[in-house]
Amino acid sequence: MPAPVSSSDHSPCVDWLFLDLNSYFASVEQQLNPALRGKPVAVVPVDSDATCAIAASHEAKKYGIKTGTNIGEARRRCPDLITVMAEHDMYVEFHHRIIEEVERHFPVHVICSIDEMACKLDAPRRPLEAATALAKRIKQGLRDRMGECITCSIGLAPNRFLAKIASDLQKPDGLVALLQEELPGRLLDLELSDLCGIGRRMEPRLHACGIRTVADLWAADRETLHRAWGGVVGDRFWHGLHGGPTEEDAPPIRRTIGHSHVLAPELRTPPAAGTVARRLLLKAASRLRRMHYRAGHMHLSVRVEQGPRCEAQAKFEPVADSILLSRVLADLWLRVMRQARWQRVKKVSVTLFDLVADSSPRQLELFASADELAAKEQRENLSHVLDQINQKHGRDSVVIGFTPDTVRTFSGTKIAFTRIPDREEFKE
């Protein structure tokens, strides 16, 4: 539990709140199905003893079962183990509702994964007492609105790196503060491999520098860690460990939005593949608008069935409207298919680069005529209307330039562990 707030005028402060949901997928399953509560549960991708658990409930963890444990082995350790097939769309749905709940209390600065997020605290929440009270409100909010099984461990610390470590120190339902003035403090209870950034390959390299414990690591100077990591990653680690601001504390900048698709055989003719490319672009453009970005660079890549990959790209004044972007794509498509000699297409990728925030100034508009500006505004409004209709009535209710039925089946949203689909994406 956090250290008591001192009564002196110098009260301790923290800058980051890191929230890690406990046994996330398994907890969602227990929330949805009361019969699973209090029982050892493993979430699995397929129904087979040869597979591995992708999550384990608190009760299963007591048997040493965790993410990656082979199910045959898990059953030997715990004959009563219940396996449940993963329901990724449900985990994504809970993820978005959990963020909504956290944001009723404080804005989330960065979503780190489907079950981890971090908040950069503002001046009123930096004093430990206020940060602790916020953490407790978030925990209570999750219990009240998401359900009793949805618990989390929260870490409070001077930077995000240490806040994540703090969130790992007590599970389940933890609340731990690592204070700058108390460092290294509880860090000394950890093994080197407990720290994120120290994997199996890194540990021997630290040993080679004479670092075998967290106490050694704490005592090492920045140059030693620079050498151990072989570059600036070591310097960053040193700053993170000692509570300084780190690069990851800066807001994340999104650089690309893209979609690609391997075509079913019946979609491999050039006209059908062209429709798929347009569909991918509209999906990317819709995401672009939802994230309040414009893009100034499009890249199209096509792999033909027997042969090389053909590519084309174009740069333009940043836009977010589907009609202009569709025109750029039409031009790129012709260029790419000429290279590909109009052969059958196996894979199509469309990527938007050079993203700028919607609020940044549009230079060329200074020189545009009133008619051009009006036309541009109309196109942008139309794009937003298309988004709204598709959100309300389902994906492909309205599209530009093709018949929806030809490609409806391919553009379903799938879960990705590296990127959590937005709920709206299931309809785009």
- Tell me the catalytic residues: 116
Q: In what order do the strands lie in the sheet with 152-157?
A: 110-113, 116-120, 16-21, 152-157, 175-177
CB-based contact 294:320 (threshold 8 Å): yes
The span from the first CA to the last CA of the chain, in angstroms, equals: 44
Determine which residue in the list 59, 115, 396, 428 makes contact with Mg ion, applying CB under 5 A.
Answer: 115
The distance of closest approach from Cβ of residue 142 to Mg ion in the complex, given in angstroms and rounded to an integer, is: 13
In terms of phi and psi (left: phi > 0; alpha: psi -120 to 50; beta: otherwise), the region of 396 is left
Q: Which is nearer to Mg ion, 21 or 81 (CB)?
A: 21
Q: At 89, phi and psi to the nearest 5?
A: -65, -30
The distance of closest approach from Cβ of residue 203 to Mg ion in the complex, given in angstroms and rounded to an integer, is: 23
Binding mask 378-407 for Mg ion (x = CB under 5 A): ------------------------------
Distances (CA, A) of 112 to 108, 117, 258, 310: 10, 5, 20, 34
Q: At 111, phi and psi to the nearest 5?
A: -95, 115
The distance of closest approach from Cβ of residue 152 to Mg ion in the complex, given in angstroms and rounded to an integer, is: 8
The distance of closest approach from Cβ of residue 8 to Mg ion in the complex, given in angstroms and rounded to an integer, is: 36
Q: At 255, phi and psi to the nearest 5?
A: -110, -30
Residue reference for tokens 């690309």: 256
The distance of closest approach from Cβ of residue 19 to Mg ion in the complex, given in angstroms and rounded to an integer, is: 9
Binding status of residue 321 toward Mg ion by CB under 5 A? no
Q: Strand 116-120 relative to strand 16-21: parallel, antiparallel, unpaired?
A: antiparallel
| Choices 25-33, 115-123, 211-219, 399-407; region in contact with Mg ion by CB under 5 A | 115-123
Both tokens of residue 308?
């090389």
Question: Whole-angstrom Cα distance, residue 419 to residue 112?
Answer: 9
Binding status of residue 249 toward Mg ion by CB under 5 A? no
Q: Which is nearer to Mg ion, 64 or 231 (CB)?
A: 64
Q: Which is nearer to Mg ion, 55 or 399 (CB)?
A: 55
CB-based contact 344:304 (threshold 8 Å): yes
Q: Which is nearer to Mg ion, 44 or 55 (CB)?
A: 55
Among positions 7-26, residues that touch Mg ion (CB under 5 A) are: 20-21
Number of residues this chain uses to bind Mg ion (CB under 5 A): 3
Q: Which is nearer to Mg ion, 115 or 387 (CB)?
A: 115
* Residue nearest to Mg ion according to CB distances in the complex: 115
| Choices 109-117, 192-200, 274-282, 392-400; region in contact with Mg ion by CB under 5 A | 109-117
Chain contacts with Mg ion (rule: CB under 5 A): 20-21, 115
